[in-house]
Amino acid sequence: MNENPLHSTPSTEPSDLAKRIRNFLIIIAAIILSLSVFLAIRSEATSTSLPQLVEESIPLDIALNNGKPTLMEFYANWCTSCQTMAPELSEIKHKYSEKLNFVMLNVDNSKWLPELLKYRVDGIPHFVYLNQKAETIAQTIGEIPRPILEANLESLIAENPLPYTQAIGQVSAFNSPLNIDQPSSSDPRSHGAQVQ
């Protein structure tokens, strides 16, 4: 039989190089997909949302009467600083949950208006540290770095002065339902109109 390589019939099977390239691309796609699924599951498992943190918090009336020190946070669901701190605050909460109450009060809920006024909340997150007798020890405002927050909590639990009472981090503006700082012109304490 006389075979002429120039007149051979085209093969219906892909060449070895094409098969290798296809297999390589399938392997790469499988690795990328597996890695994506792994990272998605991991971030879902380690990330705590603000609503989850609120759900796990202790009601204020219980915290004020159970003899434990308390960290009270004024927050809002729309507050990006509050959302940013939620995962770390959840870890801190789990670490100290046996020794400390964690209370979350939503500034958008009019139920907490007396507390908003009492603690003069005008930026969030706003943290209030209460001792075992539910007395206010200190307040901090804004995104507080974890080491500073933990140092304050350790001192609160040990009944020592808090080392970082002037901590002010990134805050979300919050317009209080009552304008606390500016007296109205009809307020008898305003001492009349401003001299111009």
If we measure between CA atoms, which residue out of 72, 55, 75 comes closest to residue 131? 72
* 177 given a catalytic annotation: no
- Start-to-end CA span in the chain (Å): 115
Phi-psi region of 184 (alpha: psi -120 to 50; beta: other; left: phi over 0): beta
Query: What is the b/e burial string over 119-152, where b = at least 16 CB atoms within 10 angstroms of the residue's CB?
Result: bebbbbbbbbbbeeebeebbbbbbbbeeeebbeb
- The phi and psi torsions of 181 (rounded to 5 degrees) equal -85, -20
Q: What's residue 33's pLDDT?
A: 83
From 50, 54, 71, 82, active-site residue: 82
Q: What's residue 194's pLDDT?
A: 39
Q: What's residue 34's pLDDT?
A: 80
Angstrom CA distances, 53 to 21, 48, 88, 94, stand at 49, 7, 10, 11
Residue 48 corresponds to which tokens in the numbers above? 């705590």
* 79 given a catalytic annotation: yes
Say if CB 89 and CB 53 are below 8 A apart: yes
Tens of pLDDT, residue by residue, the chain (196 residues): 555 555 555 555 668 888 899 889 899 888 888 877 766 665 444 466 888 888 889 999 999 999 999 999 999 999 999 999 999 999 999 999 999 999 999 999 999 999 999 999 989 999 999 999 999 999 999 998 999 999 999 999 999 999 987 655 555 555 655 544 444 444 433 333 333 3
From 79, 105, 116, 124, active-site residue: 79
User: How many H helices and E strands in the chain?
Assistant: 6, 6
Q: What is the reported pTM?
A: 0.63
Radius of gyration, CA atoms only, the chain: 30
